[in-house]
Chain A
């Protein structure tokens, strides 16, 4: 948590008292939802109008939380938050289980975006954006990955050139989820090509819908069109929208990626308990039943393995969350959760597909829960790619957690413009 959050944490409300207050408020103000409706993390096809309605609904729910005094539980009060602790947030998340929630304002708006603002933005910048975020007025996106390289984040080529009181941005960002219905972006740019790559980066914030930002939606192999690519042409950003110092963007970037790895473990994110780790979650008992295999011991064994992995991932994330929050583990331990969540989700997608039997490949509309699992199987590796690949997480674990020697790099001590690059297409 930030210094602000700690400073604000004077005598705070007892967690159990808070929990009781949250429980009654939730019961009075939020609608219950069935677990079948909680699949908004799954990358799937949704009609545009339905998606936009869901965004408006999320904004309204966020506003409801704000008015009820439950928005930004770990955010400092001076920016509209509640100034409470991670434990309060967890209690709220437990009470929120089984209820509607502002899913589209959780990740990446609260973390990493708002979390990065809390750490690095000026007081004026925070005053301008954090309350707006907590009221549901601003949905944020991270403009981080580029077409030239996903994992090599510090190799960003999006260029920002100083011009008077402004910066002029040119380049492209990619894999922004739902950018087409979002409001603001946190953007990593290159401001100096003549120094090594980590020393020439700067972070800016900018509205996503403005002249010079061309936004394209990307169709994934399952038909989802949630991901976007942005092309920036001479987009002018005032210097007052710079986050952190010029050319010191990597300081921001390191924490940015930490907050990204924290995802639903972040104390800044409100979500119903049990929902994280449900990315693409399948009711595998229902799949076995729909496939007529509930009595098949081979299928039952797989059902059990699926449940085991679901439980294991959840317990791992809880342990890492506690370990990092109490300082027993370094921030880098978040990579352990990222790695195992990815690997186990891959395995779970394979299990669901296998349990579905032949309906995994060919299905009819009345196959129920056994339908479309083949499509999820095709998308299996979204779990080990999105949010940073599991290979990168494995490097972080080996090098930062276990202290093993770093991989040899050829781009460390040379000017970024001299770093070898593949052919331009």
Chain B
């Protein structure tokens, strides 16, 4: 999290922190285990009123940031989501809102307005089922048919698909030299769209497989030009990675603090756990991973927010690092707790679930290491 937030940013973060503490205490997160959506719509509109959905959208489109750097402001919310193991479609609503506001022109203003107000939930349909396991390996087709479009393909995992009013779908389209990534906004209830629920490690995050079978839409459903969405999709991916990284750091911090406290309170052989050097050294390692996670998540947010040339590299370095060391850290917290750390009654698993899920979404550490290798090779070739 930011080392030196402005007073406005700190006020904003504390607002979300306080709201989540009141509205979404751990007992409520546990209760939502059995809720079909994993969150309630009133919770989401209240969050939207706090600014959760507007930060990546310019003021003239109905959004607005706290500091002028909306993505950094959003990482403060994402951090609190991780810190409270809070439910809700924070990532998808923000990424889709940003896409509609920038690449969508004036066409999708109504949907955008409903996302910003919290009335509508949306989902980004990006990843696909095996064998398309590589990050950004997209096979779904978006073809022109008559004056409109026809969509064919399957996406998974798709967050909150059952609650979503619309899907931003990334596929391949365009013809000849213009063939390439293409994006459309699809009403979730359109004919030919079907949902299949999936299982996930998180208690409150629900995912679906979404199949688009001969889904026919007018050309106005396009978000940007057919075949020209490559850069926009890359941008969306970077935003997603920044949000997930900040969220995981929040969960790492919560798990770490909880475990440090435990190490002072828990006595074995007449001494607190915190007095054993073998354990102290593990805490020291965890502290180093945690601070590095903060540092690299913030750096990625800055680079992506400002559209720096290093944005892709910083985002992938953050996702690879936090994916690997975040899960290692919380798993070590489990080990420090002993058997109780593996029980449902203890809160630790809520944070373990969060970092574990986040690690797998929008590229595993391996995927992002491969991206870093691509970037390093390319930089060297052009140096």
Interface residues of A (CB under 8 A from B): 283-286, 294, 297, 300-305, 307-309, 311-313, 315-316, 318-320, 322-323, 326, 328, 333, 335-336, 339-340, 343, 391, 393-395, 397-399, 401-402, 404-405, 407
Contacts and interface: CB of A to CB of B under 8 A. Distances in A.
Contact of B291 (A285, A305, A316, A404): A316
B317 A308 contact: yes
Contacts of B368: 304, 308
Q: Which secondary structure dominates where chain B touches chain A?
A: helix
Contact of B369 (A304, A313, A397): A304
B295 A326 contact: no
Contact of B4 (A286, A307, A318, A322): A322
11 contacts: A294-B377, A304-B372, A311-B321, A312-B317, A315-B295, A315-B299, A320-B295, A394-B285, A402-B280, A404-B275, A405-B275
Contacts of B373: 285, 300-301, 303-304, 307
Nearest to B272: A405
B70 to A, nearest CB: 21
Contacts of B271: 405
Interface residues of B, number: 43
Given A315-B298, A395-B281, A402-B287, 11 more contacts: A285-B380, A301-B373, A307-B376, A308-B369, A312-B295, A323-B3, A335-B284, A339-B285, A340-B288, A398-B283, A404-B274
A308 B321 contact: yes
B166 interface: no
B3 A397 contact: no
B96 to A, nearest CB: 28
B294 interface: yes
Interface string B348-380: 000000000000000000101111111111001
B285 A318 contact: no
Interface in B235-293: 260, 263-264, 271-272, 274-275, 277, 280-281, 283-285, 287-289, 291-292
Interface of B: 3-4, 260, 263-264, 271-272, 274-275, 277, 280-281, 283-285, 287-289, 291-292, 294-296, 298-299, 313-314, 316-317, 320-321, 366, 368-377, 380
Contact of B296 (A294, A312, A323, A343): A312
Q: Which secondary structure dominates where chain A touches chain B?
A: helix
Contacts of B284: 335-336, 339, 393-395, 397-398, 402
A305 B377 contact: no
Q: Which of B264, B298, B321 has the most CB of A within 10 A?
A: B321
